[in-house]
């Protein structure tokens, strides 16, 4: 295996000029410690990567992606970075670093340190670094995280073929169940809240899956059915899921599990069977075969006890 990107020498952060904005950046860089690399110049410099460069950007906006009364500032920061890093997992890419753009209203200034600590939690868990960013005043809190990764052979949504089996990591339903509880004015089950508040991008898991024969992948941000519909479209195939096989956390039904977004689990298709017991042993979570890829009208259908049932929809920001 190539040496980890963290074995290369650290680019040092350079001293910043005077002013309130730079005081804030100085504070963030100090909090991040060795997780911040080469901050302070006009742009970040990266040595060449092995394979392809894989890039993605993701924005979390207060009132759209999270509510302040549901989560702590640290959890909000962690979720924003984890969501962005999950898109690298979806491509079976290894993170090289992240760029962070914070739009901060006055009322959030007190909590920026906690937000930054949450970003650091996710960046540290992914064994990567913060390479730079931007801080600006704004009316609403927005956290934009751009991720840089590398992959020798990135997985895409377009690789599924008829005959493939469909797999998903982990157990689904926690985030939707937590959000529904909050919306009812209830307190979510602790395990469901944890799944919402502390997602873990499946970076190593996805790389293992790619190395063992997965040929299409997507991360579950909008919901299992909705995200697999993207794979079906991109690959020009039909995906048939068996409802009873969909892995779910305790206390949720298959519909909730199939519709739940912001899971940040990974779904893949593979031509040859994947070794689920070995995966479970290695990563401490299940890998479950949930359906098959067929030729036909691109889309996803769900069967229950062999009969076709209505598939639950997912989250669409513009509908
Ligand atoms: Mg994605």
* CA–centroid distance, residue 26 to ligand 1 (Å): 32
pLDDT for 3 beyond 50: no
More confident residue, 305 or 21: 305
Q: What is the mean pLDDT of the chain?
A: 92
* CA–centroid distance, residue 221 to ligand 1 (Å): 6
Query: For 136-161, what is the mean pLDDT?
Result: 96
pLDDT for 98 beyond 60: yes
With CA atoms as reference, report the closest residue to 214 among 274, 277, 278, 158.
274
* CA–centroid distance, residue 234 to ligand 1 (Å): 13
**Per-residue pLDDT tens digits for 162-199:** 999 999 999 999 999 999 999 999 999 999 999 999 99
* CA–centroid distance, residue 300 to ligand 1 (Å): 17
Q: Using CA atoms, how far apart are residues 314 and 228, in angstroms rounded to an integer?
A: 10
* CA–centroid distance, residue 89 to ligand 1 (Å): 9
pLDDT for 259 beyond 90: yes
* CA–centroid distance, residue 308 to ligand 1 (Å): 27
* CA–centroid distance, residue 72 to ligand 1 (Å): 24
* CA–centroid distance, residue 5 to ligand 1 (Å): 23
The predicted model scores a pTM of 0.93
**Per-residue pLDDT tens digits for 276-318:** 999 999 999 999 999 999 999 999 999 999 999 998 876 555 5
* CA–centroid distance, residue 230 to ligand 1 (Å): 10
* CA–centroid distance, residue 235 to ligand 1 (Å): 16
* CA–centroid distance, residue 305 to ligand 1 (Å): 30
Which strands make up the sheet holding 165-169, listed edge to edge?
214-219, 266-270, 165-169, 287-294, 238-242, 299-304, 307-309
* CA–centroid distance, residue 87 to ligand 1 (Å): 5
**pLDDT score at 211:** 97
**What percentage of the chain reaches a pLDDT higher than 90?**
82
pLDDT for 6 beyond 50: no
Contact 271, 164 (CB under 8 A): yes
Q: Using CA atoms, how far apart are residues 83 and 85, in angstroms rounded to an integer?
A: 6
Alpha-carbon torsion 288, 289, 291, 294, what sign? positive
pLDDT for 65 beyond 90: no
Query: Is residue 96 very low, low, confident or very high in pLDDT (cuts 50, 70, 90)?
Result: very high
Query: For 31-60, what is the mean pLDDT?
Result: 91
């Amino acid at each position: 295996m190539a040496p980890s990107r963290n074995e290369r020498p650290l680019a040092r952060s350079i001293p910043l000029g005077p002013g309130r904005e730079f005081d804030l950046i100085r504070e963030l860089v100090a909090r991040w410690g060795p997780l911040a690399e080469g901050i302070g110049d006009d742009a970040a410099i990266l040595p060449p990567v092995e394979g392809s460069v894989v890039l993605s950007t993701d924005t979390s906006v207060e009132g759209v992606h999270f509510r302040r009364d549901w989560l702590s500032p640290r959890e909000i920061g962690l979720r924003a970075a984890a969501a962005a890093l999950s898109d690298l997992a979806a491509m079976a890419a290894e993170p090289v670093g992240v760029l962070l753009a914070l739009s901060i209203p006055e009322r959030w200034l007190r909590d920026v340190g906690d937000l930054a600590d949450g970003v650091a939690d996710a960046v540290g868990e992914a064994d990567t670094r913060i390479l730079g960013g931007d801080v600006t005043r704004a009316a609403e809190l927005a956290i934009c995280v751009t991720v840089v990764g590398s992959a020798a052979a990135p997985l895409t949504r377009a690789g599924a073929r008829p005959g493939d089996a469909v797999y998903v990591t982990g157990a689904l339903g926690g985030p939707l169940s937590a959000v529904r509880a909050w919306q009812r004015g209830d307190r979510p089950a602790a395990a469901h809240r944890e799944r919402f508040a502390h997602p873990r991008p499946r970076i190593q898991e996805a790389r293992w899956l790619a190395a063992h024969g997965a040929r299409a992948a997507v991360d579950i941000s909008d919901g299992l059915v909705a995200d697999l519909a993207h794979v079906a479209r991109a690959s020009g195939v039909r995906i048939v899921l068996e409802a009873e096989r969909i892995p779910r956390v305790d206390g949720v039904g298959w519909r909730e599990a199939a519709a739940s977004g912001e899971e940040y689990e990974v779904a893949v298709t593979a031509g040859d069977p994947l070794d689920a017991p070995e995966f479970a042993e290695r990563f401490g979570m299940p890998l479950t075969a949930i359906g098959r890829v067929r030729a036909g009208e691109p889309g996803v259908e769900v069967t229950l006890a062999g009969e076709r049932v209505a598939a639950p929809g997912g989250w669409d920001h513009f509908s």
